[in-house]
């Protein structure tokens, strides 16, 4: 065990009845998703970028203060075994927002910045979670990093979002006032990898001063404040912090002067700014009287990058790998007040949860039907959280190659067992219950177990698509 101070969830110590009644009543009132707004909760989905499993207080971090996140986590359900659908940004987000394994829809690679190429983007045949929520009457907003296609046909406002502020590629410099200096170089340098692609609001480029994390917070606060009182909202707040480039505010660096390692200090200062932003968003919910009526989910899109100062302790590996450090992320879900009594709030649920699960879970919260013919690879978590059952008991969870230049990574998880081949190395087998750090390879002592997991993976993989696009740069 990792020794974090988290109260583990024990079945049967919750009173489920009250919140269950509320949820059932809400769902029952919304045939076709046409209920009155007041009966449906707001949904706030906050995503960090490359934030390490061990870099938040609620997962035991000691040197980076994350009080706003910790407070929300304490009011919610911590998913200590929360996974994402990809070990890098693009596929992880594609999986979460479509509710599909990215390998199923050809989105297992990071989409390059290709605003003139209509073939590079998460296929329009896969409606994003915003679309059915919008159709059900929610005001929908996306703020921050997109990375699901930069051609106009993939623009957030054509994918179910009423509002978009942010940038379309996979990263961005944090000081917009300095862009001009970098733009001079983009004739010789790929602008995508210079992270100077335009910032925009609803398709219109905007010029900014200030620090990008603060700017995204400002936009989120405005979105909340400008949503009509009688309309529920779904806000996807996708901070790019603490993804590269490693750029922090001087005052945040000063506040963390006690962190001696410079890389760690810069990284920590970027996390600090994001946590402060989450606190500001919480205040906006409070000011507008919406905090009690809002479900808040927080997660990172993939594991932290160790070479930039992140920590995935106690997990092995990081971003780009199929070890737990690449795909198990900080994650929690804070229910609306009326549902808190039915949820195991204040505990860390040990069951395997996937970001694939949020699509069906959010639709259930909203009482919104899925798009016609929509296939979902995730599960509605609500009945399992209410009943104390494991949503993935005997249900495998797979992860597969995501990067051409990094040799193939493959993995499959079933209950506490995990088989993986990291960068085409021989398959290993780990018992995560006994060996969270994936150090004790049981492939030789449990060959039948390994074979059964590999067989499952191969059968799953045979149904996947080839990547729709291929990245040529890391
Ligand atoms: Ca990422």
* DSSP annotation string for 364-430: HHHTPPPPTT---SS---HHHHHHT--TTTT--EEE----SSSPP-EEEEETTEEEEESTTPPPEEE
Tokens of 328: 């198990």
Which pLDDT belongs to residue 182? 67
| Domain assignment present for 398 | no
* In a shared domain, residues 293 and 164: yes
Q: How far is the CA of 62 from the centre of ligand 1 (A)?
A: 23
Model confidence over 14-41: pLDDT tens digits?
A: 332 233 233 333 333 333 334 444 479 9
Closest CA relative to residue 348, chosen from 31, 26, 20, 70 = 70
Residue 140 has pLDDT above 90, yes or no: yes
Which pLDDT belongs to residue 386? 97
| Domain assignment present for 1 | no
147 labelled catalytic: yes
| Domain assignment present for 256 | yes
| Domain assignment present for 399 | no
Residue 84 has pLDDT above 90, yes or no: yes
Which pLDDT belongs to residue 404? 65
Which pLDDT belongs to residue 193? 60
Residues 6+ away with beta carbon under 8 Å from 456: 396, 398, 412, 414
Tokens of 264: 């760690």
What value does the mean pLDDT take over residues 219-244? 97
What do you get for the CA distance between the two ends of the chain, in Å? 34
Task: Check: CB of residue 69 under 8 Å from CB of residue 402.
Answer: no
* In a shared domain, residues 245 and 360: yes
Angle at 66 between CA 130 and CA 381, to 5 degrees: 40
More confident residue, 400 or 112: 112
| Distance of alpha carbon 136 from alpha carbon 54, whole angstroms | 37
In this structure, the number of other CB atoms found within 10 A of the CB of residue 147 comes to: 28
pLDDT band for position 472 (cuts 50, 70, 90): low
* In a shared domain, residues 172 and 287: yes
| Distance of alpha carbon 121 from alpha carbon 155, whole angstroms | 9
* In a shared domain, residues 360 and 448: no
Q: How far is the CA of 320 from the centre of ligand 1 (A)?
A: 9
* In a shared domain, residues 357 and 300: yes
* In a shared domain, residues 413 and 297: no
Which pLDDT belongs to residue 26? 35
Angle at 266 between CA 262 and CA 271, to 5 degrees: 140
Task: Check: CB of residue 23 under 8 Å from CB of residue 339.
Answer: yes
Cis peptide before 242 (omega within 30 of 0): yes
Residue 363 has pLDDT above 90, yes or no: yes
Domain tally, the chain? 2
pLDDT band for position 178 (cuts 50, 70, 90): confident
| Distance of alpha carbon 185 from alpha carbon 24, whole angstroms | 57
Helix (H), strand (E) at residue 349: strand 347-349
Q: How far is the CA of 30 from the centre of ligand 1 (A)?
A: 36
Share of the chain above pLDDT 90, in %: 81
Which pLDDT belongs to residue 185? 63
* In a shared domain, residues 301 and 198: yes
| Domain assignment present for 91 | yes
User: By three-state DSSP, how is residue 300 classified?
Assistant: strand
**Worst-scoring range by mean pLDDT, 29-33, 123-127, 316-320, 455-459?**
29-33
Average pLDDT over the chain reads: 89
Q: How far is the CA of 49 from the centre of ligand 1 (A)?
A: 4
pLDDT band for position 423 (cuts 50, 70, 90): confident
| Domain assignment present for 19 | no
| Distance of alpha carbon 23 from alpha carbon 33, whole angstroms | 14
Q: Please return the burial class of 341, using the count of CB atoms within 10 Å of its CB with bins 0-12, 13-18 and 19+.
A: middle
Which pLDDT belongs to residue 23? 33
Residue 181 has pLDDT above 90, yes or no: no
Residues 6+ away with beta carbon under 8 Å from 431: 416, 417, 440, 442
Of 53-67, 168-182, 184-198, 410-424, highest mean pLDDT: 53-67
Q: How far is the CA of 306 from the centre of ligand 1 (A)?
A: 13
Tokens of 270: 């970027």
pLDDT band for position 3 (cuts 50, 70, 90): very low
Domain boundary among 338, 353, 387: 387
Model confidence over 41-58: pLDDT tens digits?
A: 999 999 999 999 999 999
Closest CA relative to residue 57, chosen from 68, 73, 70, 76 = 70
Residue 2 has pLDDT above 70, yes or no: no
Q: Which position among 2, 29, 83, 147 bears the catalytic label? A: 147
Helix (H), strand (E) at residue 237: strand 233-238
Q: What is the CATH number of the domain that holds 446?
A: 3.30.1120.10
Residue 189 has pLDDT above 50, yes or no: yes
| Domain assignment present for 304 | yes
What value does the mean pLDDT take over residues 301-325? 96
409 labelled catalytic: no
* In a shared domain, residues 286 and 314: yes
Which pLDDT belongs to residue 342? 95
Which pLDDT belongs to residue 136? 97
Q: Which position among 2, 29, 83, 89 bears the catalytic label? A: 89
User: By three-state DSSP, how is residue 161 classified?
Assistant: coil
Which pLDDT belongs to residue 38? 46
Q: What is the CATH number of the domain that holds 303?
A: 3.40.720.10
* In a shared domain, residues 248 and 212: yes
* In a shared domain, residues 197 and 274: yes
Host domain of residue 313: 31-387
CA-to-CA separations, 6 to 115, 117, 190, 368, 466, in angstroms, rounded: 45, 47, 45, 34, 41
What value does the mean pLDDT take over residues 202-223? 96
Domain boundary among 357, 387, 417: 387
Q: How far is the CA of 18 from the centre of ligand 1 (A)?
A: 38
| Domain assignment present for 128 | yes
Q: How far is the CA of 97 from the centre of ligand 1 (A)?
A: 14
pLDDT band for position 192 (cuts 50, 70, 90): low
Q: How far is the CA of 185 from the centre of ligand 1 (A)?
A: 25
* In a shared domain, residues 373 and 413: no
Helix (H), strand (E) at residue 275: helix 262-287
pLDDT band for position 184 (cuts 50, 70, 90): low
**Worst-scoring range by mean pLDDT, 9-18, 66-75, 202-211?**
9-18
* In a shared domain, residues 376 and 412: no
pLDDT band for position 11 (cuts 50, 70, 90): very low
Which pLDDT belongs to residue 190? 59
Q: How far is the CA of 111 from the centre of ligand 1 (A)?
A: 13
């Amino acid at each position: 065990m990792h020794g974090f101070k988290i109260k583990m969830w024990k079945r049967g110590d919750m009173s489920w009845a009250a919140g269950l009644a509320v949820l059932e009543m809400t769902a029952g009132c919304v045939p076709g998703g046409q209920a009155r707004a007041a009966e449906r909760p707001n949904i706030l989905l906050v995503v960090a970028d490359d934030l390490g499993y061990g870099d938040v207080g609620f997962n035991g971090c000691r040197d980076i203060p994350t009080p706003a996140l910790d407070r929300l986590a304490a009011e919610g359900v911590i998913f200590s075994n929360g996974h994402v659908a990809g070990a890098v940004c693009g596929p992880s987000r594609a999986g979460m927002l479509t509710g599909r394994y990215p390998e199923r829809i050809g989105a297992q690679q990071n989409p390059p910045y290709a605003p003139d190429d209509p073939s590079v983007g998460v296929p329009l045949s896969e409606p994003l979670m915003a679309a059915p929520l919008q159709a059900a009457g929610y005001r929908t907003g996306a703020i921050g990093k997109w990375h699901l296609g930069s051609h106009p046909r993939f623009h957030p406002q054509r994918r179910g979002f009423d509002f978009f502020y942010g940038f379309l590629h996979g990263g961005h410099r944090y000081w917009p006032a300095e862009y001009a200096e970098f733009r001079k170089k983009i004739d010789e340098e790929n602008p995508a990898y210079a992270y100077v692609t335009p910032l925009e609001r609803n398709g219109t480029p905007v010029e900014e001063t200030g620090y990008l994390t603060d700017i995204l917070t400002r936009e989120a606060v405005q979105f909340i404040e400008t949503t009509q009182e009688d309309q529920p909202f779904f806000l996807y707040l996708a901070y790019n912090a603490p993804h590269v480039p490693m750029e922090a505010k001087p005052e945040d660096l000063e506040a963390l002067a006690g962190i001696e390692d410079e890389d760690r200090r810069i990284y920590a200062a970027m996390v600090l700014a994001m946590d402060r932003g989450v606190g500001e968003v919480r205040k906006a919910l409070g000011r507008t009287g919406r905090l009690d009526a809002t479900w808040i989910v927080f997660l990172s899109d993939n594991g932290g990058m160790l070479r930039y100062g992140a920590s995935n302790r106690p997990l092995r590996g990081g971003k780009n790998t199929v070890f737990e450090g690449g795909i198990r992320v900080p994650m929690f879900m804070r229910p609306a007040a009326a549902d808190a009594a039915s949820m195991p709030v204040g505990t860390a649920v040990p069951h395997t949860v996937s970001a694939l699960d949020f699509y069906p879970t959010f639709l259930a919260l909203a009482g919104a039907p899925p798009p016609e013919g929509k296939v979902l690879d995730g599960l509605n978590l609500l009945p399992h959280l209410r009943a104390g059952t494991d949503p993935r008991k005997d249900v495998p969870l797979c992860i597969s190659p995501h990067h051409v230049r990094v040799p193939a990574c493959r993995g499959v998880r079933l209950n506490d067992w995990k088989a993986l081949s990291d960068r085409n190395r021989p398959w290993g087998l780990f018992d995560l219950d006994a060996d969270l750090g994936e150090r004790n390879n049981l492939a030789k002592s449990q060959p039948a177990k390994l074979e059964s997991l590999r067989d499952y993976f191969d059968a799953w993989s045979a149904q996947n698509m080839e990547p729709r696009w291929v990245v040529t740069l890391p």
